[in-house]
Amino acid sequence: MLDLSDAHLGQLPASSDLSWLLLGRGWNAELLHWELSIMKGELEEAERILHEAIRLSHQSDNKRAIIYTYDLMANLAFLRGQLDSAEKLFKAAMSFLLAGDMKQDDNAIIEMSLKLASIYAAQNQHKLALAGYEFCILTLDEKIAKYKDLPEDVLPAEERANTYLLLGLCLDSYGRYLLANKQLPRAQRMYERALQISKEVQGETHPQTVVLMNDLATVLDAQGLYDEAYTHGKRASELAKQTEHPEEHMVLNNLAGILMHKEDFLQAKQVYKKALKQAELKGDTASRQHIQEELAELARRRKHSN
């Protein structure tokens, strides 16, 4: 099942039903070698393996292998910050898929379109980014609307859920883009929809649901809607503690910031201290430094409020 957490695109890969199991034992060995290289951070070695894989797939004229390898190469290029290369590779993979009679509303096409939109967003190509995000969301909305009349023997529950989660992923990514570009009310709507999907499909305690709840609190806080932000931030922190979420310290940091904006300085300091302790225990130096800066800002605000 697809996970909503993508949208950072540092995760590799997610391409629907294109399976390396179809490529034979030799291909599985190449994939294992590639995965180990990624895990060890040996990105140049991973790229070398994929170039060899694309050569072999062209030699054998294995269309599935060609498409999947292009997708892996595009993801790897994105991971390395090579956005122009990633764009070209995603477009090449999409061309192969569409030439093979795959429909434009297939989840594989939507996933790649989302990645392209994220690339354009990173390059500040705003018209292309907006067009990409809106294509993904509108296409999936139309697709899901058609699902309502289909029985489960025609459309398996897993495929239905995957499509809903892909829509959530698109909404999450678009919301992040809108938040970064200060389009806060629209960002709020995207996060609200993404959160609702994650709750319905994955449950309230799923790690991604907690992240989305925290993100919604962030965008509400940015609009000065502190009471609503606190409600979502507090619930996110409770769920993060209950589930031992790996980013609990960042959820706590966000909650402390909301409390600071509400001018509940004493409570904010206590929550910041909890967040700082967790960041130190986890060895998260960047977060620890950020929380310390927030504590300094809290001290300044308390001083000026007296």
pLDDT at 4: 34
Predicted pLDDT at 290: 96
Amino acid identity, position 114: L
The structure tokens listed for 182 are 């200060």
Whole-number Å distance between alpha carbons of 230 and 118: 29
Query: Is the per-residue pLDDT at 215 higher than 90?
Result: yes
Residue pLDDT, tens place only, 160-200: 889 999 999 999 999 999 999 999 999 999 999 999 999 99
Domains and CATH numbers, the chain: 203-306 (1.25.40.10)
Helix residue spans in the chain (DSSP H): 25-39, 43-59, 63-79, 83-99, 107-122, 126-147, 157-180, 184-202, 207-222, 226-243, 248-261, 265-282, 285-305
Q: CB neighbours (10 Å) of residue 12?
A: 17
Let me know: does 211 contact 232? Beta carbons within 8 Å: no
Closest CA to 54 of 74, 73, 35: 73
List, for residues 223-272, the tens digit of each pLDDT value: 999 999 999 999 999 999 999 999 999 999 999 999 999 999 999 999 99
pLDDT tens per residue, range 59-110: 666 667 777 777 888 888 887 788 999 999 889 889 988 888 889 999 999 9
pLDDT band at 41 (very low <50, low <70, confident <90, very high): low
Least confident of 76-85, 119-128, 218-227: 76-85
- How far is Cα 6 from Cα 3, in angstroms, rounded to an integer? 7
Residues 6 or more apart whose CB falls under 8 angstroms from that of 243 comprise: 205, 207, 210
What's the maximum distance between 2 C-alpha atoms anywhere in the chain?
Answer: 75
The overall average pLDDT reported for the chain is: 83
Position 17 confidence tier, pLDDT thresholds 50, 70, 90: very low
- Hey, how many other C-beta atoms are within 10 angstroms of the C-beta on 88? 15
User: What pLDDT is stored for residue 61 in this prediction?
Assistant: 62
**Residue whose entry in the numeric block shows the structure tokens 């030799």:** 26
